[in-house]
Amino acid sequence: MVSILELVKAPFVQVAGYLPKLVGLLVILVVGFLVAAGVVTLLRLILNFIKLEKGVKKIKVPEILKKGGIGLSLSDLLSEIAFFLIIIVTLIVALEYYGLVTASFTTQILSYVPNVIAAVFILVLGMLVAILISGIITLVGGNVKIAQSELFGNIAKYAIIAVSGLIALRELGGGIVLADKSRTIIFAG
């Protein structure tokens, strides 16, 4: 026969078994947050030391970021990305410690990161080329006295941005096929 004391004691024994893992989980999360904050501070110091903002103003990156709806400077954007990447790694480590299997999930994320980097690079490069081509078209059109040279420059700019966006989506696996020979764009589901 089970005594009342054993019935009351059983839940406390179970909680006591989970307590060390829970404390370890919280320690991992706090240390991860502190490491992320430290890395962000160090990264901002390095970016300020090399005067990144001054250099990117020359190639009009702040304008591109504002047009893209990003209200942060490039230094702040890079710092935020670094912070969240470290937090994601911390969460994965904490979940692994707690006993949840995240190996396949981690592998999927890590194998997808190069695609995201490539897509961002394609978009940024496309925007820079679009601004350059737009400026050239507007300048040449103005020199030969074409009335709508600015309109043609804007059309070229947005066409280049659209194509670079489609290429970036393809890089991310968005199911977009750009057919070279038929010069058509096919959207696949």
Residue 2 has pLDDT above 70, yes or no: no
The pLDDT > 90 percentage for the chain reads 19
Q: Tell if the pTM clears 0.75, that is, is over it.
A: no
Q: What is the pLDDT of residues 124-180, one digit of tens each?
A: 888 888 888 988 998 888 888 888 888 999 999 999 999 998 888 888 887 665 555
Query: What is the predicted pLDDT for the residue at 185?
Result: 53
Report the C-alpha gap between 181 and 81 in whole angstroms: 38
Residue 41 has pLDDT above 50, yes or no: yes
What SS3 class is residue 182?
coil
When pLDDT is cut at 50, 70 and 90, the band that residue 45 belongs to is very high
Whether 178 contacts 170, CB under 8 Å:
yes
Query: Which residues, at least 6 apart from 29, have a Cβ–Cβ distance to it below 8 Å?
Result: 90, 91, 94
In terms of average pLDDT, the best of 30-44, 72-86, 132-146 is 30-44
Long-range CB contact pairs, 150-158, < 8 A, 24+: 156/130, 157/130, 157/131, 157/133, 158/130
Query: Which residues, at least 6 apart from 162, have a Cβ–Cβ distance to it below 8 Å?
Result: none
Residue 65 has pLDDT above 60, yes or no: yes
